[in-house]
Chain A
């Protein structure tokens, strides 16, 4: 599923044919480059319900959860290391994804 499909579906499901704003979130540990996405959206939106919409791209911090001390910390410098106890037994809980967070539609 791509951004265009997601936005078109959501607008349709909510009975709208005009989208004013599209809010996209890009995780800092995803392989998506915000600038490239921004550029691509200018092309993707042509002829769609969000042709004239403002595209907002927000970068989401990558957060880790530590299985040793149980705490969450922000990933720094792409290192898989707990910011509290220094353990490497961590997993990424947010910031490894890209998603369409919300849209603003005309109703």
Chain B
């Protein structure tokens, strides 16, 4: 009998990969937003609502995570964005390794922002760090006001919570006060934005949040190098200043 101490974390490998992705994104000044929600909360509708404004100023890349099919990617193909669909098959979340494989399809010099639409699921995606700068969690009022208490991990990790389908609030028994109270018990910092993606209500707030993230990332794009001087010659102008070098 021989006892071996291990302390081997199951997510260690995922986190290490995600850290590498984060460094790569930092070096390229690409802002990464990971959007999580239950199925049917309106992630794709929210993207349809924010993309007309965002694509006027920025180059956006989108990774669509779904168990199967390309329905979401098809819906977004009308926008001037680069979309890559990841089909996870039996897996209920995206992992850093899947993202790493997907990223070879993007020219990181040519995008300002990468939006990851995670697999619709309120549990597992919260455990897998993808190297994102921010987690946006989307909840629709038709899901009920008791969700923060039922799915605490995801709510505790969100940087911003978007409450969608507010146009339907009169038809439900959704109690905003209870929802807010439950969110605050888990997460002091995240702003709650009340929107309707299909009606376009308060979509400007979401656009502003993403824009702020992009600008902030650009401001920090030269703060650290990647050890290869030729890579950071020009990242000064916002939005369209990216030239292709290499």
Contacts and interface: CB of A to CB of B under 8 A. Distances in A.
Given A105-B2, A106-B1, A107-B2, A78 B7 contact: no
Interface in B148-170: 149, 152-153, 156
Contacts of A49: none
Contact of A101 (B5, B13, B123, B149): B5
B65 to A, nearest CB: 17
Contact of A78 (B126, B149, B188): B149
Interface of A: 1-3, 6, 10, 14, 16, 20, 29-31, 78-81, 88-89, 92, 96-107
Contacts of B7: 99-102
Which of B5, B8, B149, B188 has the most C-beta atoms of chain A within 10 angstroms of its own C-beta? B8
Given A14-B4, A31-B127, A78-B149, A99 B185 contact: no
Given A89-B188, A100-B8, A103-B6, A20 B1 contact: yes
A64 to B, nearest CB: 11
A105 B6 CA distance: 12
Q: Give the secondary structure class of A's interface.
A: loop
Interface residues of B, number: 26
Interface string B179-206: 0000011111000000000000000000
Nearest to B187: A80
Given A80-B185, A80-B188, A31 B124 contact: yes
A89 B156 CA distance: 11
Contacts of B124: 31
Given A79-B185, A80-B185, A88-B185, A99 B9 contact: yes
A6 B3 contact: no
Contacts of B127: 30-31
Which of B4, B9, B186, B188 has the most C-beta atoms of chain A within 10 angstroms of its own C-beta? B4
Contacts of B156: 80, 92
Given A80-B187, A104-B2, A106-B2, 18 more contacts: A16-B2, A29-B153, A31-B127, A31-B153, A78-B149, A79-B152, A79-B185, A92-B156, A97-B9, A98-B9, A99-B7, A101-B7, A102-B6, A103-B6, A104-B1, A104-B4, A105-B2, A105-B4
